[in-house]
Amino acid sequence: MTAHPIRKRILLAGVALCAVLFGAGQLFGGAGGKKSPVAGPRTQQAEATKYAGAEACQACHAEVYEKFEATPHWKTMLETRRGPEWQGCEACHGPGADHIEAGGDKTKIFNFKGVSTKTISERCLQCHLYGEEHSNFARSAHNVNDVSCVDCHSVHAAKEKQFLLVRSQPELCYTCHLEVKPQFDRPFRHRVNQGLVDCTDCHNQHGGFVTRQLRSTAAQDAVCFTCHTDKAGPFVFEHAPVKTEGCMACHVPHGSSNPRLLRRSQINLLCLECHTLTVDSDVPGIPAFHNQSQKYQACTVCHVTVHGSNVSSVFFK
């Protein structure tokens, strides 16, 4: 496979981007001045003496520390390249020396209760902002609707251990997305309640570039093709709306009363609603002999490969 000009351009763009960022950083960078968008302990570094260390926290919060030790956040204890503000309990709660000296005064340390959701999320994003999974959280539907990280995650009391969730999927998502729960209980549905598919298999809960925070395949196509690989094509004869309007032109994504999660119970109506000659539409209408009182009401008996075909322009095969 020979390198394509566009691939080369992407690589060059990456190198150029690095150079621009580095140069701009030299020119404009540095702390201080206007408030950083991501306020937190790092940008207002306390003196090193203000940090007591996680072992000091353990003396009073033994049970909490024991649970913390069993979570991936314990890895912050190994963060020795940077200062104590990146390690252990104080990586999230801020410097704790004053809190200890004051005999456990809660006002002397950062408490996640009683602060705004934006403040909470900014604190978590200090570490978790980077990488495609979280890089769009600030613009995500969750964040702009006042949903913070701790609405779904719990560092100290997680019920689901892999991602430190307060509840497992999909029950966690159903807490707010009430209208989705009954859809997954319909006869024809994606098997989310059975544990085969998670909400996060299709949606990026932390935000993304695609509408409804949908994910994409590796080839930047609709996420549906991750599992439904035979529908991805490319085909010689594409059924254009599949690629231009998306799978939701004909299907509902979560669950339906209709077979194949279609939007209509009668397939012929779904087809006829597009395949009727109209001005301002080049979609072909059905021929005159397609008597809907006969076999032709079952369009897909003949037009089988409606998602695309390599050999038949009318999707017979």
Partner 1 sequence: MRRAKILTHPDRQASASAPFPVAGFLSLPPRSLARVWVCGLAVLLLALTPPAAAQQEEKPLEGINRGNYNIKQTFEFGGRWTDFTGNLDVYRTFVDLEAGPRLLEHTLEMRSLDHKGLLFDDFFLHSFGYGGDPENVTRLRAYKNRWYNFSATFHRNRNYWDFNLLANPLNPPTSNPAVAITDSPHRMFLVRRRSDVNLTLLPQSVVRLRFGYGRNVMEGPSFSSFHEGTDILVFQGWKTTLDNYSAGIDLRVFPRTNISYDQFFTKYKGDTTWEDRSLNFRLSDGRPVDLGLIFNTGAGQPCATPLLPDGTVNPTCNAFLAYSRQGRVRTLFPTEQLSFQSSYFKNVDFSGRIAYSSADNELVGYDELFQGRVTRTNQSQFTVQAPAQGRRVSVTGDLAATFYATDKFKVVDTFHWQHFRIPGQVLIQECSQFSTSMLITANTFPAINPLLDCPRTNTLGTPVHTNSSPADILIEDISHFLGQDTRTNTFELLYDFTRRTGVRLGYRYTHREITQRLAELADQHFFPDRPNRGACAGRPLEPDGSCRVTTADSHGELFEINEHVLLFGFWARPVDQWRVAFDLEAASADRAFTRISPRQFQIYRLRTSYRVRDWASLNGSIMILERRNNVAQIEHLQHDRSYSFNALLQPNETFMLDFGYDFNDVFSQTNICFTVGSAPPPPGSVPCPFVGGLPLQGLSFYNHDVHYGHFQLMWKPIRRLTTHLGYAVTSTTGSTLILAPNTPPGPLSYNYHKPTAGLSLEMNRNVTWKVQWGYYGYNEKQLPDVFSSPRDFRGNLVLGAVRFAF
Which residues, 219 to 248, sit near partner 1 by CB under 8 A? Answer: 219-221, 226-227, 229-230, 232-238, 240-241, 243-245
Q: Is the peptide bond before 234 cis (omega within 30 degrees of 0)?
A: yes
Q: Is 267 in the site for partner 1 (CB under 8 A)?
A: yes
Stretch that binds partner 1, among 52-60, 87-95, 99-107, 270-278 (CB under 8 A): 270-278
| Residue from 2, 49, 107, 313 binding partner 1 (CB under 8 A) | 313
Q: Is 187 in the site for partner 1 (CB under 8 A)?
A: yes
Work out how close the CB of 96 gets to partner 1 at its nearest, in angstroms, rounded to a whole number: 21
Q: Which residues are CB-contacts of 55 (< 8 A; sequence separation ≥ 6)?
A: none
Q: Is 112 in the site for partner 1 (CB under 8 A)?
A: no
Smaller CB distance to partner 1: residue 97 or 315? 315
Report 127-186 residues binding partner 1 (CB under 8 A).
129-132, 135-136, 138-139, 141, 144-146, 161-162, 174-179, 181-183, 185-186
Q: Is 293 in the site for partner 1 (CB under 8 A)?
A: yes
Smaller CB distance to partner 1: residue 49 or 162? 162
Q: Answer left, alpha or beta for residue 288, where phi above 0 means left and psi between -120 and 50 means alpha.
A: alpha
Type and span of the H or E element at 299 = helix 299-302
Q: Is 274 in the site for partner 1 (CB under 8 A)?
A: yes
The size of the chain, in residues, is: 317
Alpha carbons within 13 A on the beta-carbon side of 208: 16
**Whole-number Å distance between alpha carbons of 167 and 150:** 12
Smaller CB distance to partner 1: residue 50 or 135? 135
Q: Is 1 in the site for partner 1 (CB under 8 A)?
A: yes
Smaller CB distance to partner 1: residue 100 or 119? 119
Report 37-56 residues binding partner 1 (CB under 8 A).
37-38
Stretch that binds partner 1, among 47-55, 57-65, 93-101, 108-116 (CB under 8 A): 108-116
Work out how close the CB of 233 gets to partner 1 at its nearest, in angstroms, rounded to a whole number: 7
Stretch that binds partner 1, among 47-55, 89-97, 102-110, 294-302 (CB under 8 A): 294-302
DSSP reduced 3-state for 255: strand
Q: Which residues are CB-contacts of 98 (< 8 A; sequence separation ≥ 6)?
A: 50, 105, 108, 109
DSSP reduced 3-state for 31: coil
**Whole-number Å distance between alpha carbons of 83 and 76:** 11
Q: Are 189 and 261 in contact (CB under 8 A)?
A: yes
Q: Are 286 and 272 in contact (CB under 8 A)?
A: yes
Sign of the Cα pseudo-torsion (190, 193, 198, 203, in order): positive
**Whole-number Å distance between alpha carbons of 75 and 126:** 15
Structure tokens at 212: 């409804």
Stretch that binds partner 1, among 56-64, 88-96, 103-111, 191-199 (CB under 8 A): 191-199
**Whole-number Å distance between alpha carbons of 246 and 223:** 10
Q: Is 251 in the site for partner 1 (CB under 8 A)?
A: no
Q: Is 74 in the site for partner 1 (CB under 8 A)?
A: yes
Work out how close the CB of 205 gets to partner 1 at its nearest, in angstroms, rounded to a whole number: 15
